[in-house]
Structure 1
Amino acid sequence: MTIITGSTQKIHQGSLNLQYLAAITATINIIVSGMHYGWPSPSLPKLISNTSAIHVTDNDGSWIAVMPLLGALVGSLLAGTTVDIVGRKRTIIVSSIPYFFTWIMIAFANSVLMLNIARFIAGIADGWVFTAVPVYISEISDPKIRGLLGSGVSVTWIFGLLLINIIGSYLSVSMTALVSSILPVLALLTFSFVPESPYFYLIRSNVDEARKSLQKFKGVEDVENELNRVDLAVKADAEKSGKFLELFTNKNNRKAVFIMMILRGAQQMSGTTAVTFYTQSIFLEAGDKISAEVATIIYVSVQLLLSCFCSSIVDKAGRRPLLLTSITGSAFFLFMEGAYFYIKSCTTIDVTSFSVVPVVALIGFIVIFSLGMQTIPILMLGELFSSSVKGFALCIADIYFAVIATIVSKFFQIMKDSFGMYAPFFAFSCSCVIGLVLIALFVPETKGKTLEDIQTNFRNEKNNKSIEDA
């Protein structure tokens, strides 16, 4: 312990500026991903309208919306192995190429089929970046700022949502796509100049390059203690073989998979992705005096600001308190949203005077959701798993996310069309209550711990019998 503590003191005498720079450039493609996910909100109403050059039905629109989720299944499967073979950095860089061409395809699309193909390819790139970026950031970050940098994945994704809603609300579908194509080019040009993760070099037994990477990221020349600590951890993980089945045969990994499923499941069963796809449609049906475009921009802006706030306090407040507060408040506001639409459509009560309620409830939801549930599940993906299985683990996590998000998004559309807008919101509220119970029982605190400390805690944990038997 003394060696590690001394190493930590030396590290903090250096500069962490390159860690910030690497995280910022790595997440530019996360912005692009957010833009693709948010694209249906301003674009589908235009495509479904009578003035659209492409004939798009409501059902076509729902499939166009969820197509990146289906593509992410393929991308995640590919990324599960590429992050450990070609590296975290190269995987992130290569994702810029399909992102660029998908925007060009959307700009010149003349059929629903072309839009679906473009969105599917974008989803493949999503699978790459959402596997590689959390791994990369968790491995290059000092424990004191890992929460801040790791939660930046969610913050930049939300920034992408805001950016596409602003651009898409005031430009045509084609011009929006052309403007958006600038971002993957910027990612390709900037991220190429930052170092690879030292963990990856050690996995490939390249100690010299790992030392150079650590020296750059820590801002000091003497990194031997840190290098030895990471090298021992990587070798210990390698002895466990690092095979895909280790995720389920190893007790520590089973715990991590179980926690991942709770966090990502609770996050997506709240309906956040469905709401993102259909934000403008929800506000249009709410019928408030504020235009749907303006309301959507306000909604995503609040989401961005609160996610930034969460990122700034997560290393001080801790993961668990923010998660529990966030999901409790989300359940309340989703119930309020459902109650308004139920009263409006299923009773004779005049709600004209209360038309601001759904806007307030939805913004309230995103305020409280962004305080924890938006950012922390993705942050903890990079913390929970040992380096030997992290690539496979995030592959499984992304596939799990894509399946759940697709089901929830289609569920939203089906329930809305079959019963009314209130039905999915009531269901999402109930899901948050279930998620609250599971998080309270099973999700650990990882604040201020090194990645190796977290694995040690899993091994020494004696009070989590329920997870061990899962």
Structure 2
Amino acid sequence: MSTDKNNNSDLHECKVKNKISKLRQAIPQFCAVGAENLLLVTLGSTIGFSSILIPELTKDKTDIFLDRDDESWISSMNLFTAPFGCLLSGLASTYFGRKTTMQLAMFPYILSWLIFYLSTTKQMLFIALVLAGLNNGIVEASVLTYVAEVSQPHLRGILSSTLSVAVILGFLTQSLTTTLTNWRTTCLVNITYPVIGFIAFCLVPESPYWLAEKQQIVNAEKALCWLRGWVSSCQIKNELEIICISVKPKDNKHKNKKHWKEFTKQTFISPFILVIVCFVIVNFAGSVCIQTYSVEIFKELNTPIGIKIAPVYLILAQLIGTIICVVSIFFTGKRTINFISIAGGGLCSLGISIYIYLVEFNFIHENKYTWLPSLLLIGTAFISHIGIRLLVWIIVGEVFPSKVKSIATSVSVAINYAFSGIANKTYLGLKDIIGLSGTFMLYAIIYFIGLVALYFMLPETEGKTLQEIQQHYSGIHKLNKNQQKEQKILI
């Protein structure tokens, strides 16, 4: 007993003596996630590349001809192949580590851009899309897990939100670069992003959770000291103990036999259903298709904005919305901003649908109000990115228990990519059947149904430790839906 008291006294004395500022604690966490964000700029550029490649290759004069079916495959092939990469994602993240998996992923990205650049047939384009899609899937588990495991509870929401900022910057680089040069030169420019990302990963540590799980306690301690502001070991002792307990298997003898049972528990099932509902809203309420087919949609809406510059405004709206989310999530929490986002997206989609209907039946003159649907379309992109488009990825990184996190995250992301591929592949056919007005009406309905569902399903996790979130889903301690944020570590 006296030994414990002495240890606690020494620990308290160490913390008081070596007290550091919150800024110093935050800087290394932003650096670690910043390296990860360079990977996500690359990931975003591979997804956004389709939206600029399709209009370039459907012009009258082009060296690679695409028909309407090829166009739908270009928009969705990398999304359909990503789930197969996700099947390997959890294994790669668990075996190689979060950081190493992301670092090695830079090489396939470089190869895919070289294939794009050298393409002379549509088959070569498909090969590059397949390679990029597989690689996108492989890194997803590491991306989402790493940010959750290196950040403190009060910074996790902000840091996780920056992941979406990076992806959108990847989209933006494609639109901006293409306005200055051709699509092949854009491929060469895109090679620089994974090269810089590889170098950046050399400067940051591996996840302390993964290191502790692999019984590399000394390395886990060093990583945690680095991530908490380059502090001494006594200052992170309590947090390291919590991490070691959370990753320690309860029964090593029967670990492999009982591991599958974790997927039958409420701690997995409830978060999994929540994540799937979020992904349904994100993919089937139009935000994915609006991004991919932005040029075609702006043309159909007879936008007064230049066709080449209109997608840039769309992406800038997404970026501004994302930045607002990053800044405001700390104050509003996830629930409030999510509901504002979903309701706003539904209203904008409904407005576009009504406008198209009124024009088709000659209730209003099209040329008089061409600015309105363009504004609503850009508004849809903006409002979706202040909430649901970003927050779903934060939720994925938070809600699953550590024992199944890598696999659960991989499966969730695989389903998201499959949903995105289905949404993009079926968009043209859906529009041919029910028209653009009916398509946006369907998007509005999905938004409003999703709003009701998430009102009852989504807890407030902002400022909560990963342990507190797991206690919520295991029924030990329920998170109040409007609970005030706490900026402390559960001990």
| 2:465 corresponds to | 450
Confirm or deny that 1:226 pairs with 2:233.
no
CA distance in 2, matches of 1:426, 1:8: 57
Aligned to 1:186: 196
Match of 1:245 among 260, 281, 297: 260
| Bigger-Rg structure (1/2) | 2
2:133 corresponds to: 123
Q: 1:381 aligns with which of 396, 405, 420?
A: 396
- What is the one-letter code of the residue matched to 2:60? N
Structure 1 counterpart of 2:337, from 311, 319, 322: 322
Q: Aligned in 2, Cα 1:186/1:388: closer, same or farther, shift over 3 Å? A: same
In 1, the alpha carbon distance for the partners of 2:467 and 2:393 equals: 19
Query: Does 2:45 correspond to 1:32?
Result: no
Secondary structure at the aligned position of 2:120 is classed as coil
The question of whether the paired residues in 1 share the 8 Å contact of 2:41 and 2:169 is answered with yes
Q: CA deviation at 1:192?
A: 2.0
Distance across 2 between alignment mates of 1:342 and 1:110: 42
Matched, 1:359 2:374: yes
Q: Distance in 2 between matches of 1:11 and 1:211?
A: 18
- Structure 1 CA distance, aligned partners of 2:345 and 2:262? 31
Going from structure 1 to structure 2, the CA distance change for 1:335 and 1:245 (only over 3 Å counts) comes to: farther
Task: Report the equivalent of 2:183.
Answer: 173
Instruction: Tell me, in whole angstroms, the C-alpha distance in 1 between the residues paired with 2:131 and 2:339.
Output: 35
List runs of 5+ in structure 2 lacking aligned partners: 1-7, 480-491
The answer to whether 1:255 aligns with 2:276 is no
SS at match of 1:129: helix
Q: CA deviation at 1:346?
A: 5.0
Task: Give 1:396's aligned residue.
Answer: 411
Please, which of 260, 276, 288 is the counterpart of residue 303 of structure 2?
Answer: 288
Give the corresponding residue for 2:167. 157
Equivalence for 1:70? 80
- In structure 2, relative to structure 1, the CA distance for the partners of 1:292 and 1:241 (3 Å cut) is farther
How much identity, in percent, do the aligned residues show?
27
How many angstroms does 1:237 deviate by?
7.1
**8 Å contact kept, 2:221–2:240:** yes
Question: Matched residues in 2 for 1:11 and 1:390: separation?
Answer: 32
Residue identity in the other structure for 2:245: L
Note the C-alpha offset of 1:461.
5.7
Supply the distance in 2 between the matched residues of 1:462 and 1:312 (Cα, whole angstroms): 28
Query: What does residue 447 of structure 2 align with?
Result: 432
Report Cα offsets for 1:158-209 as digits up to 9, x if no partner: 1111111111233212111111111111111111221000000011011111
TM-score by length of 2: 0.89
Question: Are the equivalent residues in 1 in contact too, given 2:289–2:424 (CA < 8 A)?
Answer: yes
Residues 44-59 of structure 1 correspond to what in structure 2 (within 5 A)? 44-59=54-69
Q: Which structure 1 residue ranges, 5 or more long, are not aligned? A: 465-470
Distance 1:44 1:55, change over 3 A: same
Offset of 1:345 from its aligned partner?
A: 3.7
**How much has 1:107 moved relative to structure 2?**
1.0
Distance in 2 separating the partners of 1:393 and 1:403: 15
- What is the Cα-based RMSD across aligned positions, in Å? 2.2
Residue from 218, 222, 235 that aligns with 1:212: 222
1:246 Cα shift?
Answer: 4.0
Count the aligned residue pairs: 461
Aligned to 2:107: 97
Structure 1 residues 226 and 62, CA, compared in 2 at 3 Å: closer, same or farther? same
Deviation at 1:238, TM superposition (A): 7.5
C-alpha distance in 2, partners of 1:344/1:435?
29
Distance 1:420 1:277 in 2: 18
Deviations 1:91-114 (A, max 9, x none): 101111111111111111111111
1:301 aligns to what? 316
Deviation at 1:11, TM superposition (A): 7.6
**Compared with structure 1, are the counterparts of its residues 8 and 289 closer, same or farther at alpha carbon in structure 2 (3 Å cutoff)?**
farther
Q: Distance in 1 between matches of 2:291 and 2:250?
A: 38
Q: Which residue pairs with 1:142 in the alignment?
A: 152
Offset of residue 419 of structure 1: 3.5
